[in-house]
Amino acid sequence: MEVARPGKYIYPDIELDRVEGQVIEELKSNSQQVIPDPAEWLDEELKKNILLTTVDAVINWGRRSSLWTAICFPACCAFEFIAANGPRFDLSRFGMEILRASPRQADLMVTAGTLTWKMAPNVRRIYNQMAEPKWVIAMGACAISGGIFRSSYSVVPGYNRIIPVDVYVPGCPPRPEALIHGIRMLQRKIAMRTNISLERLKQ
Ligand code: SF4
């Protein structure tokens, strides 16, 4: 009987070479296809972090969420507007707590009060100086139609005689909740805007 000695295998060298070659050939024949990357985590990350939308949706979202109001409050409805800005109704929730003294930094006019013909040129000038795109909310009966002063020789029977109005909020005065409802309606209107004109793309 052959006894293993230190430094010598009990199998002959030729047998070891044959077994080793067999293992290599098996591995080679089973390794002809590329093993796919373990990348399920990447799919999950993409699903969580990629949002497909349109340019219009993003621009409109930004605009309707940051309406800055020009200071133009000629009469008593203004106090309801001021109340809407206070902590109880908190217009900051809509990104519009900033009132701009400069019309160039404003894109919303809330016409909170009676307008006289004497003041009308100044209101129109403020509107004309506001940045584009811009919107107008007619707040209260006086802003919509002249209200109880409609028959007066000095009162403008509605702001829409001098500037375009987007949303009408009735009441004398409308409560802050009504104004906020009007703001939400305006936001929906802004959300439906198309910002890229086909005519401009053709140029
Ligand atoms: S609608 Fe009424 S509360 Fe508002 S400005 Fe006119 S009178 Fe004043």
pLDDT of residue 2: 53
| Overall average pLDDT of the 175-197 stretch | 88
Identify the weakest region by mean pLDDT among 36-45, 76-85, 107-116.
36-45
pLDDT of residue 200: 59
Query: Which of these, 180, 183, 178, lies nearest to 167 by C-alpha position?
Result: 183
- Contact residues for 114 (Cβ-Cβ < 8 A; gap 6+): 74, 75, 76, 142, 143, 146, 147, 149, 155
How do residues 126-181 score in pLDDT, each as one tens digit? 999 998 899 999 999 999 999 899 999 999 999 999 999 999 999 999 999 999 99
How do residues 64-78 score in pLDDT, each as one tens digit? 898 999 987 888 899
78/154 Cα distance (integer angstroms): 20
| Overall average pLDDT of the 177-194 stretch | 91
- Best of 72, 82, 114 to mutate for ligand 1, by most ligand atoms within 8 A of CB? 114
CA of 93 to the centre of ligand 1 (A): 26
pLDDT of residue 198: 60
CA of 159 to the centre of ligand 1 (A): 13
Q: Confidence band (pLDDT; 50, 70, 90) for 3?
A: low
In short, whether 78's Cβ falls inside 6 Å of ligand 1 is: no
Percent of the chain whose predicted confidence (pLDDT) is above 90: 50
pLDDT of residue 196: 67
| Overall average pLDDT of the 121-125 stretch | 93
